[in-house]
Every structure is written in C-alpha cells, then in structure tokens.
Amino acid sequence: MHRKRLSYLSLVVAALMALPAFAVTTGPVAEPLKGSAPQPDGKADVADPAATDLTGGVALNSDFNGDGQHDIVWRNYATGANAVWLLNGTNFSSSVQLPAVGSPTWFIAATGDFNADGNVDIVWRNNLVQPGNTQQGLNSVWLMDGTNFVSSVSLTAVSDSNWRIRGAGDFNGDGSPDIVWRNFATGANVLWLMNGVTLDSTVSLPAVGLDWIIYGSGGADYDNNGTPDIVWRNTKTGANSIWLMDGPAYSASASLPAVTPNVGWEPNAFGDYSGDGKPDIIWRNYRTGVNTLWLLDGTNFTMSLSLPAVGDLNWEMEGPR
C-alpha cells in the first residue's frame, strides 16, 4: 500500500512549506449553544462492523473533564452545533455542548493539548472552497478549559484545500502534539512538528494511493513503542491498517480486520476506552447511525461493544483523533 512517490513528494512538501503564512487573526468563532447535543437514541446495534478478514503507551488526548476517561467529540454539520460525549470507560455517561460554529466551512480536524495546560484542545481547518468563503485555508486551535472554550489561536494557513488535517499526536516526543496531513489529490502525507501552536518543521511520510484515507492518530500507540501510530482505511476494499511509527518516521504497517466497504462504516475515534492501556477504535456508521467500539489488544481485534446510536447522520464523530 505504500507507493512512494518521492519524485514529486519533495516538491509537494516544498510547496506546502512555501505557502504563505499570512497573518491570521480569525478562526472559528465560538457562538452560543445551538441545537441539542447528540443523545443516545436507543437504536439497536444490529450491524457491528464485522471482522471479515483477520489476515488482512496511550496519550489521553480526549479527556475533556479530567476524569482519566477518553471522551468523544461531535460536530453537526447541518446545525453548527458541537458536543462532547463524556464516557465512563466504554459506557456513555453524559453529553456536554461546546460552543457552536455556524459555518460548515470549518471542520474539526484533530484533538490534542497544544498549550500543555492539561486540557484537550481542538484543531479546526477551514477546507471548503466555495464562493464567498474568505476563511478558506485557515487553521486554528481552540484552547479549552475542560469543555469550556477559552480562546482561539491561529495556526499556519494552508490554502490548498487538497491538504487535509487527519489527526494529531506527539510523534517526536517533545510534549507538543504534531499534526498529520494528507493530500487527497496527490497521496502525499506530511507531519507538522509543532512547538505548541507554532509550526517548527515538516517531515514527509511515504505517499499512499488515493483509495486509502488516514482516519486518525489521536496519540494512540498500538504497538506500545512510545510513538503514536496512524490508522488507515481503504475505502474501496474495506481493508484497515495501522502505520506503526518510529518517532516521526514510518516504520511498518500492521493489518486490522477488514470491514465491508461502502456500507457506511468509518473509524472515527481512537483512544483507550477499555482502560487496559491499549488503544481502541470507535466506528460510526453514516448510513444507520450505529456506533461501535472495537476493543484491541495491540493491533489484534478482541471484541466489539455497542455504544449508543445517534440516528441524526448530520452528527459526525470527530475525535479523539
């Protein structure tokens, strides 16, 4: 799966680094609460993502309420509402609303503690090319205090909308989450090594064909080597894979069970929900609203558990990733 395209990758990275870091003072503005937070609707979990092909150190980067338990970030792209599900291990506990962001041009792109205050922050990217969108290309971090918005800090802008932020994790171990980028036009992949909210340097990763999508990292360290890893899904074949990273460099890939393609399943949240020190993966089905937690033992699938369904498909599960 790792088709290296080094011939143009360096050009792509050079182009990315050369993009104007124009002074940015605007980000997604925190608005009053809007709509209602996603509530469990009791829909039966009738369609776990089935494991169809078995051949095929965890950072708590999403604990918004500081109880040591990973939570889940949601955004409703129809209403602009945002919310966090507080979990108790693998069980839904309660839903807390975050400030709304009315413009659907802003996407929640990653989670992590970017100012090292112990609170999980939220990375936004404005990625939608459409007439009148003067914020296209901007990137921003919401600094949080628990589930309370504190302030918005701009990151370096990237105007090419083919570049998408797909997750964050501290790959070089300096305490700052780094940002995972994938180019959906060229297949190039890049890490931004961050110093807090400041871009320090970029590292190119191997390019990968466009059937594969990075769904997240989230600081989840599947092989327990101290470096977060990167989860991929092939949208054509249903294959799933983890890039095991060695610092900010690709080391090896490990297969996860495949999940039937084209029936709605996406892996959307990455964290240790079972509390065994090993990261798990939450899947959301964007046709049925069902949410399912895969418990993993390293890179081996152990079992799946139902989470409450959210029938309103406008609610997208955005992290931790």
Binding site for Ca ion (CB under 5 A): 63, 65, 67, 69, 71, 113, 115, 117, 119, 121, 170, 172, 174, 176, 178, 221, 223, 225, 227, 229
- Nearest distance in Å: CB 256, Ca ion: 14
Tell me the closest approach of the beta carbon of residue 175 to Ca ion, in angstroms: 7
Residues 72, 73, 78: CA angle, nearest 5 degrees: 135
Least distance CB 304 / Ca ion (angstroms): 21
- Parallel, antiparallel, or unpaired for β 249-256 and 72-76? unpaired
Q: By C-beta, is 229 or 266 nearer to Ca ion?
A: 229
State how far the Cα of 138 lies from the Cα of 82, in Å rounded to an integer: 19
Whether residue 321 contacts residue 216, with contact meaning beta carbons closer than 8 Å, is answered with yes
Residue 65 CB, nearest distance to Ca ion (Å)? 5
Contact, 318 vs 268, CB < 8 A?
yes
142 vs 163, beta carbon nearer Ca ion: 142
Pick 238 or 271: Cβ nearer Ca ion: 271
Q: Which residue has the tokens 């309103």?
A: 312
Q: Which of 252, 307, 261 is nearest to 284 (CA)?
A: 307
Q: CB of residue 298 vs Ca ion: minimum separation in angstroms?
A: 10
Confirm if 178 and 164 have CB atoms less than 8 A apart: no
Dig out the tokens for 225 from the structure. Answer: 């080597």
Q: Which is nearer to Ca ion, 67 or 297 (CB)?
A: 67
Nearer to Ca ion, 149 or 265 (CB): 149
